Amino acid sequence: MHNTPQSWDIFCAVVDNFGDIGICWRLSRQLVAEHGLAVRLWVDDLASFQRLCQDVNPLLARQQLAGVDIWLWHNDVDWPAIQPAQVVVEALACTIPLAYQQQMAAAQRKPVWVNLEYLSAESWVEDCHGMASPQPQLALTKYFFFPGFSERTGTLLREKSLLPVLNAFQHDEQAQHQFWQQLGISNALSFERRISLFAYSHSQLASLLACWQHGSGSTLCLIPIGTLAEQVQQLLPGLTVGQNAKFGALTVKILPFLPQTDYDLLLSACDINFVRGEDSIIRAQWAGKPFIWQIYRQEEQAHLLKLRAFLQRYTADWPEALTDAIDNFHNAWNADLSLTVAWQRLDAVLIEVHAKNLLWRNNLESLGDLASNLVRFVEKKIII
């Protein structure tokens, strides 16, 4: 008997603007497109969602895009009388409404309740992945599902078509030229290095921009519109949104927020990618290019432990000099330290880092993808 539950509810509370909804939107689309499931995505911030997907109408309480039913999650008090899905995904530390939990408990066949956790490379994740958590107030069990970097986790989100598309793009100079033309940059391929800069504001950003301005080679820097772009505009007077502006050896362009598929191509087209949070760090690894991760800050510097765990796993088989260059820049970038020397060391090894990243990507690919692993995990929990 077919054991795959056909209806899924995914709950997403938008915390840092884009990372949470980025993950949930990719997962929802993949479950529909590759696994034939009926997915209802509950989102509490449709305006942020619209930045990633222009077709989202933030004024509609219900709409369907890419086969996904999108519902506005706006009021836990007046929760509608609905039939819970067969699988309920509580994504990225959100808390689903109590009224919905009660509907789950009242269902004749209890849904499989999955807490999709944040990405981490810490070793304890492997021990907690798949763990059951009986709920004391309700006759329900919640299961913890951790993305990660080993076969003992749920691994990373990756659509079946992603790597073939990126590989073809990276070997097609005409396709890259057309992509840059669409962004309004006709001479992108003439620069010595192309950099995408997606980050939170940074107190030492001026030192990094100065490296690129006064460097010996030409640099093209692409920055999505937002807080960091505003900071760059203060540091580089005369920079306006949508216009290419030259400052010494550095050319800067502030881009509108790109749809997710175009952002994947941007990461693939650049020589190094600065990324932040969770969704973009995952996509940077699939791009195979050198990347710098600005991890989401937590209290008591807990994020630095998380970063250290990732770097140790990521560079485990690297030569010491290469590891030191990557560690040094990540530490400076995430601790708001001066970036001048750290950049010089990193820039000198980018070609070697690129080669290592392709091997890292191959290893991640061998672990499967999160959506498929999640579907298999849920199937084992369904009682026929």
Sign of CA dihedral 368, 374, 376, 377: positive
The alpha carbon of 149 is separated from its chain's Cα centroid by a whole number of angstroms, namely 14
Q: Amino acid identity, residue 265? A: L
Backbone angles phi, psi at 292, to 5 degrees: -125, 125
Task: Output the six-digit token pair for 37.
Answer: 């499931």
Sign of CA dihedral 191, 209, 274, 291: positive
Helix axes 260-269, 173-182, angle to 10 degrees: 120
45 is annotated as an active-site residue: no
Sheet holding 291-294, edge to edge: 245-247, 250-255, 219-224, 193-197, 272-276, 291-294
Q: CA angle at residue 103 from 100 to 106, to 5 degrees? A: 155
20 is annotated as an active-site residue: yes
The residue annotated as part of the active site, out of 20, 44, 279, 347, is 20
The residue annotated as part of the active site, out of 44, 117, 278, 327, is 278
Q: Could you give the residue numbers annotated as active site?
A: 20, 278
